[in-house]
């Protein structure tokens, strides 16, 4: 199979390319620079220079059987217009071109589309059919991912075959966000605990998301289906902190922080960030509070039943290894 992949230098995109190359697919990877092009060649993919918001980048899909669209702005401290161009317009081009050339599309979305408050619901209670909730106007990432899905659905109505994957928080080898940031904070020996620390966290390994993407490509039934990819092994906040502690080789003191105080603090910091950087994405600290508290409402029953997606990740070991690596390069 010939597969056109975007976001191949990213946390999720790189294991997707590795998985496709490993099984003998011919992979063309859209990249933004020479260093990225070299990396793609090392992985066994054919690089193509371009950006997702540039229509010309997509002409190469003419030769492809499928597109895996993983590129996105995730936590960039930038304006809405940039989120719109990359995440919404980029996905619109992915979807229209895939339809035009008869290629299958796998779109990497996010559980952020539901609205951040979904994370407060009971474990396993949220399915792909659950309704969307309100989005904060400054939540550029979630807004753009919700609009991006709408772009895919528009093309599906016109004949595109597409699968949408909705991962929860992702970490792994190419992590630029979660593990590096938490390692940097935990290095000071102090972390908050919000709630009991016993709830399962909404976290998934990047290789598990890649596994779902490849399975979606191979599963005819996955056409025009949405899958939450959100359960590949249990991890509580206490286990996460233990993994950070092991990886850093130091004791971490945990300070209980009542949930209302954590949310109050998150709102204040976000308000300050909006003042010091008007128009820039302030990130989602309330989302971070929910993540750190724990609780995973997202069920992966559909992905398990229809894609046979059942990865089991030893999260604590994985996190310890990644933190150790971060610490040695800090
Ligand atoms: N990380 C998470 O926790 C998470 C959770 C749920 C869903 N997702 C989704 O998973 C997908 C991949 O995210 P990730 O975590 O792998 O992000 P990432 O590590 O930040 O990688 C983003 C990728 O997108 C590329 N990219 C950004 N802007 C581009 C542009 N204008 N044109 C072409 N390529 C561009 C980047 O290329 P450069 O190397 O050139 O910057 C990089 O390859 C995204 O759709 C994201 O919404 C992520």
- pLDDT tens over the chain, length 330 residues: 999 999 999 999 999 999 999 999 999 999 999 999 999 999 999 999 999 999 999 999 999 999 999 999 999 999 999 999 999 999 999 999 999 999 999 999 999 999 999 999 999 999 999 999 999 999 999 999 999 999 999 999 999 999 999 999 999 999 989 999 999 999 999 999 999 999 999 999 999 999 999 999 999 999 999 999 999 999 999 999 999 999 999 999 999 999 999 999 999 999 999 999 999 999 999 999 999 999 999 999 999 999 999 999 999 999 999 999 988 887
Largest CA distance in the chain: 57
Interatomic CA distance for residues 75 and 63, integer angstroms? 32
Distances (CA, A) of 24 to 28, 251, 283: 13, 45, 38
**Separation of first and last alpha carbons in the chain:** 40
Nearest CA to ligand 1 atom 8: 110
Distances (CA, A) of 12 to 77, 114, 192, 203: 20, 20, 28, 13
The HSE-up count of residue 44 (CA atoms within 13 Å, CB side) is: 14
Q: State the residue for tokens 């928080």.
A: 169
Segment 249-254 long-range contacts (CB within 8 Å, at least 24 positions apart): 249/324, 249/327, 250/187, 250/189, 251/189, 252/186, 252/189, 252/190, 252/191, 253/189, 253/190, 253/191, 254/191, 254/192, 254/193, 254/197
Distances (CA, A) of 16 to 19, 36, 68, 212, 249: 5, 15, 8, 9, 32
For ligand 1, whether the C-beta of 270 sits within 6 Å is no
pTM over 0.75: yes
Q: State the residue for tokens 């976290």.
A: 203
Interatomic CA distance for residues 223 and 218, integer angstroms? 10
CA of 141, closest atom in ligand 1? 47
Distances (CA, A) of 161 to 47, 193, 225, 250, 311: 25, 44, 9, 50, 25
Interatomic CA distance for residues 24 and 75, integer angstroms? 33
Nearest CA to ligand 1 atom 11: 70
The HSE-up count of residue 8 (CA atoms within 13 Å, CB side) is: 35
CA dihedral 253, 254, 257, 263 (to 10 degrees): 100
For ligand 1, whether the C-beta of 239 sits within 6 Å is no
Any idea where the domains of the chain sit in the sequence?
Answer: 2-250+266-329
13 alpha carbon – ligand 1 mean position (Å) = 7
Nearest CA to ligand 1 atom 17: 10
For ligand 1, whether the C-beta of 49 sits within 6 Å is no
- Three-state secondary-structure class, residue 104: strand
| CATH topology (fold) of 2-250+266-329 | Rossmann fold (3.40.50)
């Amino acid at each position: 199979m010939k597969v056109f992949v975007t976001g191949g230098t990213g946390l999720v995109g790189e294991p997707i390319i590795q998985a496709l190359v490993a099984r003998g697919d011919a992979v063309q990877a859209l990249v933004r620079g020479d260093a990225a092009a070299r990396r793609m060649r090392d992985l066994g993919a054919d690089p193509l220079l371009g950006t997702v918001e540039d229509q010309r980048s997509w002409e190469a899909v003419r030769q492809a059987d499928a597109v895996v669209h993983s590129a996105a702005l995730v936590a960039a401290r930038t304006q809405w217009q940039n989120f719109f161009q990359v995440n919404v317009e980029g996905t619109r081009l992915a979807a229209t071109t895939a339809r035009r050339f008869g290629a299958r599309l796998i779109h990497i979305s996010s559980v952020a589309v539901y609205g951040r408050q979904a994370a407060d619901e009971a474990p396993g209670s949220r399915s792909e059919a659950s309704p969307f909730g309100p989005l904060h106007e400054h939540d550029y990432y979630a807004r753009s991912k919700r609009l991006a899905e709408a772009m895919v659905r528009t093309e599906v109505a016109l004949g595109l075959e597409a699968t949408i994957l909705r991962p929860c928080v992702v970490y792994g080898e190419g992590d630029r966000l979660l593990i590096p940031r938490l390692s940097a904070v935990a290095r000071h020996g102090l972390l908050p605990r919000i709630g009991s620390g016993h709830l399962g966290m909404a976290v998934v390994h990047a290789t598990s998301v890649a596994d779902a993407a490849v399975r979606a490509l191979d599963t005819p039934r996955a056409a025009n289906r949405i899958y939450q990819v959100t359960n590949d092994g249990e991890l509580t906040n206490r286990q996460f902190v233990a993994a950070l502690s092991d990886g850093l080789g130091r004791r971490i003191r945990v300070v209980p922080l009542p949930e209302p105080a954590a949310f109050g603090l998150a709102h204040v910091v976000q308000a300050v960030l909006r003042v010091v950087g008007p128009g820039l994405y302030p990130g989602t600290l309330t989302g971070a509070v929910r993540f750190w508290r724990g609780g995973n409402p997202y069920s992966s029953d559909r992905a398990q039943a229809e894609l046979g997606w059942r990865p089991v990740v030893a999260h604590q070991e994985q996190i310890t290894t990644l933190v150790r690596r971060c610490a040695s390069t800090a």
